[in-house]
Structure 1
Amino acid sequence: MSLSTAQPLLPPEADWPAKVARAFSRAASRYDTLASAQRHIGESLWRGLPGTAQHILDLGCGTGYWSQRLAARYPTAHVTGLDIAPGMLEHAQARHGDTITWQLGSAESLPLPAESLDLVFSNLAIQWCRDSLAVMEALYRVLAPGGQAFITTLLPGTLSEIAFAWQRPDAVLKTPACCVLEAAISKSGLLSLKQSTWMETFFYPDFKAVMASIKGVGAQVARPNATLTRADLAAAAARFEQFREPRGLPVSYHCLSLQLEKPR
């Protein structure tokens, strides 16, 4: 989530996946109460799903909200919820039980058999991946011919108000530009059937609520030398107030929706 399209790659730390996993594991217990923005964005994806499916993956399943809905929508299907964060999977299994298969793994190297899926659903997950091509190639491998992937992800410009408030380029996650994702899709062999971009803006009463909405869904990963003082917090809150509207403080998400297919 970045202000600039000139840096499409995510931070170069070798332990980046472990940092993401820890952040989301820590957020698991409070994720569902703070994920209203994520749920709203996911509904746009949900409305376009096919009428039938038998082997389904919820990629980046988190607490299993969408996994459970997929299982209810496709009652004869086998649904797998996959996530990089063990804490999320533990929470999902405790809440939704074992009728869904819970699988630890990364979108960049899916631990699933080749051509084993006819539907992949992924809401706001792949923006955390450093290698967009690896993600698309993994999807190509696990989808059966004719299988489809329905994805929402985030583009540069997401959380721009937060980046401005903190006055630090590393304050928010850097996401791949749309052209990077399009190149990865093309190179992977997947077909892009539909693609759309749009902005979603959500409003919060104060800066504390803004930051709770980000931290509470794991969307903040610890970075070196990131110690903040009360003065830092006050300055960031004051800068954010410049964006205040009658509905509150805005937080913007630059969204991308994709419908991909593996050729028959």
Structure 2
Amino acid sequence: MKRMIDKQLVQKRFSERAKTYDQFANVQKKMADALISRIAARPTAILEIGCGTGYLTEKLRQAFPDAHIMAVDIAEGMIAVARERLGNDRIVWRCADIEEMDILARYDLIISNATFQWLNDAERTIARLSDALNRGGQLLFSTFGAQTFYELHASFAAALKQQHITEALRIGPSFPTLVEWLACCGRATSAAVRGSETFETERFPSVRDFFLSLRHIGATNSTTGRYCQRPSVFKAMMKEYEQRFSENGHIQATYHCLFVDITL
């Protein structure tokens, strides 16, 4: 599961897109709603990782009005939007990288929506978070799976073949499978680990509109590695995409949504 993330780039991109994020993060909102439905017990102390603009934070406060929430995000711009949205009542906002942040308190619920794909050392982080749970506590997170944007990757592979390029290049990040995530969690903690997966499909007028939606949520690629910069390949990829994955004048983009539940 080793993919190195440029955290400064992540921080910069999400801060810049904080004001447009909610308009375009439709799948992320569905994943947040699904996480809420998976909370097993009524928590009084909650740690939310990657709170973003506060969509899940707001749902948590509505569901558990007496709970104290620590909401953490790496991007100052996201924290600013979330704080403006929800204020400071029973919520402590903190701009920090969870992989570097000291976790000094203990929690009944640690929850994170569409964030763990940005971790560089998921196993170590999950071990630290598990240690911060109270007895009977729950670590619940969603992330993206290996089949996310399979249309894009298939079209890019076809474009490389057309251009007779045999070098191992990619167009975006590769995500772990659910099996890989469960194995990672199993190494990180002795607690019970369960997982599930769903698929969500979005439709766009063109591939350019799809790319623009990703840019508006700050989710453009932030991993290190070899990427193709050739305009001819991108042109061929977009043509392949629109020929192979169009229906009724719109292209489709599939999100592979993973949910992992660790309960002490």
Tell me what 1:30 maps to: 20
Aligned residues: 251
SS at match of 1:221: coil
Equivalent in the alignment of 2:191: 191
Residue 58 (structure 1) aligned with residue 48 (structure 2):
yes
User: What is residue 240 of structure 2 aligned with on the other side?
Assistant: 239
CA contact (8 A) 1:108 1:138 kept: no
**Correspondent of 1:95 among 82, 85, 95:** 85
- 2:15, 2:75 within 8 Å by CA — same for their partners in 1? yes
Pick the structure with greater CA Rg: 2
Amino acid in structure 1 at the alignment position of 2:2: L
Aligned residue identity for 2:72? L
Matches within 5 A, 1:38-117: 38-99=28-89, 100-114=91-105, 116-117=106-107
Please state whether the residue corresponding to 1:29 is helix, strand or coil.
coil
Out of 65-74 and 241-250, give the one that drifted further. Answer: 241-250
Cα pair 1:193 1:260 within 8 Å, conserved: yes
Which residue in the other structure is 2:165 paired with? none
- Are 1:79 and 1:101, in contact at CA under 8 Å, matched by a contact in 2? yes
Q: Structure 1's 211 and 109: CA in aligned 2 closer, same or farther, altered over 3 A? A: same
Report % sequence identity. Answer: 26
Segments of structure 1 that go 5 or more residues without pairing to the other structure are: 1-7
Shift of 1:228: 5.7
How far, CA to CA, are the matches of 1:110 and 1:135 in structure 2?
Answer: 10
Distance 1:178 1:51, change over 3 A: closer
SS in 1 for 2:18: helix
Scaled by the length of structure 2, what TM-score is found? 0.85
Paired amino acid for 1:237: M
Q: Report the CA distance between 1:187 and its aligned residue.
A: 2.1
Alpha-carbon distance, 1:245 to partner: 2.0
Task: Compute the displacement of 1:67 (Å).
Answer: 0.6
Distance 1:233 1:97 in 2: 44
Structure 1 residues 15-52: Cα deviation after superposition (integer angstroms, max 9, x where no partner) = x1112111211211100100011112222222122351
Deviation at 1:189, TM superposition (A): 2.0
Looking at structure 2, the residues matched to 127 and 161 of structure 1 have their Cα atoms a distance apart, in angstroms, of 19
Q: What corresponds to 2:163 in structure 1?
A: none
2:213 maps to 1:220: no
Question: Structure 1 pair 208/78, CA: closer, same or farther in 2 (3 Å)?
Answer: same
Unaligned runs of 5+ in 2: 161-168
Q: Does the CA-based 8 Å contact 2:195-2:261 persist in structure 1? A: yes
Closer/same/farther in 2, CA of residues 77 and 190 from structure 1, 3 Å limit = farther
TM-score (norm: length of structure 1)? 0.85
Aligned-residue CA RMSD in angstroms?
2.4
Q: Among 250, 254, 257, which residue is 1:255 paired with?
A: 257
| Distance in 2, Cα, partners of 1:163 & 1:153 | 18
Please name the residue that 1:4 is paired with: none
Q: 1:247 to 1:47 in 2, by over 3 A?
A: farther
Distance in structure 1 (CA, Å) of the matches to 2:94 and 2:39: 22
CA distance in 1, matches of 2:27, 2:12: 21
Q: 1:247 to 1:134 in 2, by over 3 A?
A: farther
